[in-house]
Amino acid sequence: MKKVLRVIADLKFAISLLVIISVTITIGSIIEQDQTLEYYKENYPEIRPLFGFLTWKFIDFIGIDHLYRTIWFIALLIIFGTSLISCTFLQQFPTLKFSRRCNFFVKKKLDIETLINQENLGKFINKIINQGYYIYQQKTNFYATKGIIGRVAPVFVHLSILLILFGSIIAALCGFNAQELIPKSEIIHIQNTVIAAPLSRFSQQSIRVNDFWINYYKDSKIKQFYSNISILNDNGLEILNKTISVNQPLIYKNLTLYQTDWTFVGLRFQETNKSFQIPVILTKNMGNKVWFSWLPFKSSFTKENFLGETLLINNYKENILTYDLKGNLMNEVDKNEKVIENHYELIDFISSTGLQIKSDPGTIFIYFGFGFLMLSTFLSYLSFSQIWGIFDDLKNKKNLIVLGKTSRSKFSFDTEIFKITKDLN
């Protein structure tokens, strides 16, 4: 088992595995994820397949349409994580343990060698202490080290990557993505899931949309969508309220609510002391959303005479256009104004906000992983430096030979030793 772990911990094996994962992720970025089978049949037909083999059947068989949740991709991540853990325990920890020892044995391959007078030994030791070195003495020899934290950096790198891998696996196995179209003032629970992982647990959290509105630029182009959202407890009491917009989501526990879309579902009118609602139908005119409906006149409900007006909405500025039976524009009606011979008063626009609701329990691990990765990147630039001091003549103790070695930044290390010793010779 130890031999197998040593093979897995080998640097070449880890790099090869990392290349395979990188190529796989690139493919997952190019091929659209989580689309319908009809979409892949249309875009990746069997006739003249992309690259000669990329057909919808191949995509469906390999699972590229949901690549990050496939068993073989998760297996790659687990093997890579095992490689990092093996390398940490079989190589990094022993290296760190060896670096912490007082190593009075002088290495053969050194980066610097210089000579100072014996009477300047005390000054030399004081100077290297001021430079942050720790001094250890053995009889007439001494050993100094600095930057042991640089040896810890590889361990932090492995820990950060393991956190990222663990978070990715948790996200692939336990996350879900839902799309909800919620009318204003309605309360819903999550129902319309688009992506559901095998181990995902769906939240039954109550969500209420209090209001929805749109801000416009001066040229009538849409500037931003806003939805005021409330999170309710089991008793229907509000525990959190926030106005969300595009790129400003609401985060509650393991749920994240994004503003994605909007539409109209109806109009509310009032007649004397009674109010009623009529639905609207969405259509698109040259890419623009247009809603229309029909409002009959109450006194015309006969087989021979059925009069009314067509209502059309082409923006969210709370006004409608009314047309007669011949398609002639009758009037432009704002909110709280009346239509059809001043019989019905327009009192409200019933809108729905489109929310994307995501649950990704692995996100926190990924964030911590990247945080550790940034920290370890800075720590890895710290050099682990070693200095040995031995007398060339132990009987007379005339001169002290200073030997040095560093893990990186050799030029800076040479400059540092030169500045320490230039005034002592």
Residue 107, pLDDT > 70, answer no
CB contact at 8 A, 209 and 231: no
What's the confidence (pLDDT) of residue 425? 60
The pairing of strands 308-313 and 288-296 is: antiparallel
Residue-range domain boundaries for the chain: 1-92, 100-144+383-425, 180-247+259-354
DSSP state of 233: -
Residue 139 contacts residue 394 (beta carbons within 8 Å):
no
**Residues 6+ positions from 408 with CB-CB distance below 8 Å:** 150, 381, 383
Average pLDDT over residues 107-134: 81
Q: What is the mean pLDDT of the chain?
A: 84
Q: What is the pLDDT of residues 344-365, one digit of tens each?
A: 888 888 888 999 999 888 888 9
Give φ, ψ of 164 to 5 degrees. Answer: -65, -45
Residue 395 has a pLDDT of 54
| Digit-coded pLDDT (tens) for 282-291 | 887 666 788 8
What are residue 275's DSSP bridge partners? 270
CATH 3.40.50.740 for domain 100-144+383-425: no
Q: What is the pLDDT of residues 6-39, one digit of tens each?
A: 788 888 888 999 999 999 998 888 888 888 888 8
